[in-house]
Amino acid sequence: MRSFEAGKVVVSLCKDYVCSHDMNDEDCVFYGMRRDGLEVIFPAARSGSHVGDVMLLNLACKKDETLASAVEQLRAHPNVIHAEPNILYGRHVRPNDPYYSNLWGLEKVNMPAAWDYTTGSDDVVVGVTDSGVDFSHPDIRENMRDSGWNFLNNNAQAMDMTGHGTHVAGTIGAVGNNFVGITGLNWRVKIANMRIGNIAMGLAAAIAAIEFANANGIEILNNSWGGRYYSPSLEHAIQHYNGLFVASAGNDGVDNDTLPDYPASFDCENIISVAATGPDDTLADFSNYGAVSTDIAAPGVDIFSLSLKGEYSSMSGTSMAAPHVAGAAALLKAYRPGLSALEIKRIILASADRLPGLSGKVLTGGRLNVKAMLEMAKSRQVHTIAPGENLWAIAKQFGVSLEDLIGANPQLAGGWTVLAGQVVDIP
């Protein structure tokens, strides 16, 4: 979403100035400005102040630099009081789902403003590796990719029997603005139901689900489960997953830097590990944390979402926090389809709201902010380093100085070595 309309300027003239509207008239405030149109949008007669006609100038050239030059020229003219781009204000839309007021977490991560950018896309698929999803629930069935697969028993019996996976899926993608129940972060998305357990999740099933995601181009996985057992096989599968792996940090209230919880604590660059916060933006007392191993926090206390048999319920846990981040990743993918998993991760972490209560608790020191994420994606260029590429070549490609490139990427400070697959910001 642009913040202004291309090629259009709102101009307020002085009260006693009479405009000739002739761009070839040197005395005209619009002298030399090639235009497609010029109209009075608020006449002087309606104002008792010193402001004359308010006009809308539609420039022939729609380039941003032409607009900026015109605004600068107009502001310098003695017969112009104000000149500004034709600003595009957001709608701050709220969906019509009747239980929306219960979704404090969506308000906290700034979803009404985020939905001005996108409400999601049917082209984006999020895999939910969990206890299954109630794919018949009236508030999510339109957003289901299909009925799913049971990787634990290797059959099609993927219906959720506990409600955990259904609750998670609802936060990501309950159908929005349909006059039914709630909405997820994504009004439109496709949920891939990947059942890997019931109360407990199976290691082999999880690995099989990751391979299925690779084979079927599912680029985002939500994983609201884990434990203290380190599995090299699971780590290997995640390292070779071609997507973003969002994992809950765990609910023991301990530091994962000293007592790891897997898969969230694996040292895999495509993992986002998520802690839980409450409405007061402090770490939930049950939430695991870690200044190194836990990346970001998201709402995870008394989260209202889908339940079995068409019902709704509230649950707490980092299991509820992770789908806020997975849902945000899906929205970002809908908004900028060309972004890689690592680019999505970098933008999500870089746009977090830094909060005093999270300093030293998670890597970013912040909580998810979806509006800020999309705003950053709109104006920010990121680049994934190709094999053999160096900083000089990247700076030349994007027309920036080497000094500015390094300044925008503090992770590069102190060295010139870059690795293929590493993501850098372009200033």
Q: Give, as one character, the DSSP assignment of residue 255.
A: B
What is the separation, in whole angstroms, between the first and last Cα of the chain? 20
* Structural tokens at position 190: 């496709």
Using alpha carbons, list the distances in angstroms from residue 351 to 1, 222, 364. Answer: 17, 20, 9
Torsion of CA 126, 132, 135, 139, to 10 degrees: -70
Catalytic residue among 12, 53, 97, 130: 130
Cβ(129)–Cβ(191) below 8 Å: no
Catalytic residue among 139, 160, 164, 316: 164
Q: Which residues contact 65 (CB under 8 A, 6 or more apart)?
A: none
Phi, psi at residue 107, to the nearest 5°? -65, -40
Task: Give the H/E segment covering residue 119.
Answer: none
Torsion of CA 53, 56, 58, 62, to 10 degrees: 130
Name the 3-class secondary structure at 168.
helix
Is 77 noted as a catalytic residue in this protein?
no
Q: How many whole angstroms separate alpha carbon 106 and alpha carbon 121?
A: 18
Is 130 noted as a catalytic residue in this protein?
yes
Q: Give CA 216 to chain center in angstroms.
A: 23
Question: Sign of the C-alpha dihedral, residues 290, 294, 298, 304?
Answer: negative
Is 147 noted as a catalytic residue in this protein?
no
Catalytic residue among 319, 351, 353, 425: 319
Q: How many whole angstroms separate alpha carbon 136 and alpha carbon 298?
A: 28
Q: How many whole angstroms separate alpha carbon 271 and alpha carbon 227?
A: 16
DSSP per residue over 176-234, as a string?
PSSSSS---S-SEEEEEEEE-BSSSB-HHHHHHHHHHHHHTT--EEEE---BS---HHH
Q: Which residues are known catalytic residues?
A: 130, 164, 319
